[in-house]
Structure 1
Amino acid sequence: MDIISEILSNTELTSSMQMLFFMTILMLLPTILIMMTSFVRIIITFSFIKSALGAQQTIPNTILIGLALCMTMFIMSPVVEKINQNSIQPYMGEEINDEQAYEELKKPIVEFLLKNTREKDLELFVNNSSIKGENIDREELPLNIIVPAFAISELKTAFQIGFIIYIPFLVVDLIVSSTLMSMGMFMLPPAMISLPFKLLLFVMVDGWNLLVKSLIESFI
């Protein structure tokens, strides 16, 4: 059982304790956003496309982070809707207690995390935890096992996407470098010449639309 669930099952929260619990959740919100949503895959992919284009100084990080946050809210909206319907609204209406509200809140999150977690990564943390050898369903695993497994699965997926992104731009760099060398223009930086061609290629294939579409569909 999760630590939070165990606390809620053994403790009747007063209003002051509820406020303390709520403030703790707010402090952990940045970590929750990064480690339990689609944000990791999206922002790393954006970092790869920025590096592949060679436009590190041209595209502000603030823009990419803002776009990643907007996409994260869009992708996670079905999960948030389930949480609101099954946990928040019944709890506000005093139809369920603290423990039941937490369990209902956790269900859609766990479903999303497990859907995007590789079995191999999940086994890694299960085999190195205290529940090693126990016969337990995936949905009943605690979050301290599911979340890190989800995180490394997202990292691998983002790196796979980054590899695919790099290939066409690498070809452009190779062509430009070979052309400059054959012309004897050794002092001219290849990156400065290849950048306009990479931007043209990215615009011609409608790169942002294609990239965002692929990222969204990868979570569906």
Structure 2
Amino acid sequence: MSPTCPVRPSVSIGRTARLLLLAVLALAAVVAGMSVSGTAYAAPAGVAAAPSSVAATASSIAAVLPAAPGDPIDPVDPVAPVEETGVVSINLNGENAKPSSSIVVLLGITLLSVVPSLLLMMTSFTKIFVVLALTRNALGLTGVPPNQVLAGLALFLSLFIMAPVLSSVNELGVQPYLNGGLDFAAALDAGSGPLREFMLGQTREEDIALITRAAEQANPADAASVPMLTLIPSFMLSELRAAFIIGFVIFIPFLVIDLVVSASLMSMGMMMLPPVMISLPFKLLLFVLIDGWGLIVTALVGSYG
């Protein structure tokens, strides 16, 4: 019996499966092409219909598309450029020519920063403090009373002497400005009038002429035409001169006491004993008996009339 080829059923089954797979793929491609081209496709009975993405694709495309054009907008005229002049304008007055609260606070802070300079240059503080310091040196006391005590006494004596002047400045300049009756420049000019009169009354003509010649300016026609920049240093020179004259008068009696004590010690041969230790009690006793502080304060206050 001749040999025969064996039957291989697995090979035929594999080929059949491949053909079926190719047929399914071809059918899926045809169905996809029909759905994209808009052809209706009905799924066979018993087979569940696949979810369609046509509606989602259409909505995404509609969202990407631009909106319909609207009505045109009327053109706007171009704004003219603002010219920069480089000048900053600050109005110190508010509505109805009345300064605002912020401006008043700003001026108050500025005034507080320049009060020490005004106190030294335009009031009687410098003269009083110098006289009190010279009195302390004449007594031979280096640290008693301390500078704080002398400065406090000079401050309150200055306020006592300058009280009428400060009242006039408040009535003529400060209150009209706060009430809106005067602008800042006019209030400053009106308020400086009482201070000018006070300083002119205590300033010598020689000192005004000295400062005028130092500035190489023409001589003022009258006292009202003296500028403040010339009047202030002239006033300080006159105050220092008057303070030194008062200090010289105070030194004389204490100098006599020092001379008497020194001569007495030399005559007794006590050259190693400092004269200050002996003369200081006598000077303090004399100063208390004649009420020295009262005399000095009376002379200072009376010098301003």
Structure 1 residues 200 and 210 mapped into 2: Cα distance closer, same or farther (>3 Å)?
Answer: same
Equivalents in 2 of 1:136, 1:97: separation in Å?
Answer: 29
Q: How many residues align?
A: 210
Equivalents in 2 of 1:146, 1:102: separation in Å?
Answer: 17
Measured against aligned partners, the alpha-carbon deviations of 1:189-215 in whole angstroms (never above 9, x if no partner) come to 100110000011111111111100000
Which structure ranks higher in relative contact order (CA pairs < 8 Å, sequence separation ≥ 6)? 1
1:79 partner SS: helix
Bigger helix fraction: 1
Equivalents in 2 of 1:190, 1:169: separation in Å?
Answer: 12
Equivalents in 1 of 2:143, 2:218: separation in Å?
Answer: 51
- Counterpart in 2 of 1:171? 256
Equivalents in 1 of 2:209, 2:174: separation in Å?
Answer: 32
Structure 1 residues 134 and 116 mapped into 2: Cα distance closer, same or farther (>3 Å)?
Answer: closer
Q: Is the 2:220–2:226 contact (alpha carbons within 8 Å) kept by the matching residues of 1? A: no
- Counterpart in 1 of 2:146? 60
Deviates more, 1:26-35 or 1:175-184: 26-35
- Counterpart in 1 of 2:115? 29
- Counterpart in 2 of 1:50? 136
> Normalising by structure 1, what TM-score?
0.89
Residue identity in the other structure for 1:150: F
Within-5 A mapping of 1:8-19? 12-13=91-92
Residue identity in the other structure for 1:13: L
Measured against aligned partners, the alpha-carbon deviations of 1:3-41 in whole angstroms (never above 9, x if no partner) come to xxxxxxx97425566655543332221011011100011
Q: CA deviation at 1:73?
A: 0.4
2:129 corresponds to 1:78: no
Within-5 A mapping of 1:21-170? 21-129=107-215, 132-133=217-218, 135-170=220-255
Structure 1 residues 18 and 126 mapped into 2: Cα distance closer, same or farther (>3 Å)?
Answer: farther
1:96 partner SS: coil
- Counterpart in 2 of 1:3? none
Equivalents in 1 of 2:219, 2:235: separation in Å?
Answer: 21
Structure 1 residues 135 and 155 mapped into 2: Cα distance closer, same or farther (>3 Å)?
Answer: closer
Residue identity in the other structure for 1:140: S
Equivalents in 1 of 2:298, 2:188: separation in Å?
Answer: 33
Residue identity in the other structure for 2:203: T
2:256 corresponds to 1:185: no
Equivalents in 2 of 1:200, 1:135: separation in Å?
Answer: 51
Q: CA RMSD in A?
A: 1.8
> Normalising by structure 2, what TM-score?
0.65
Unaligned runs of 5+ in 2: 1-88, 94-99
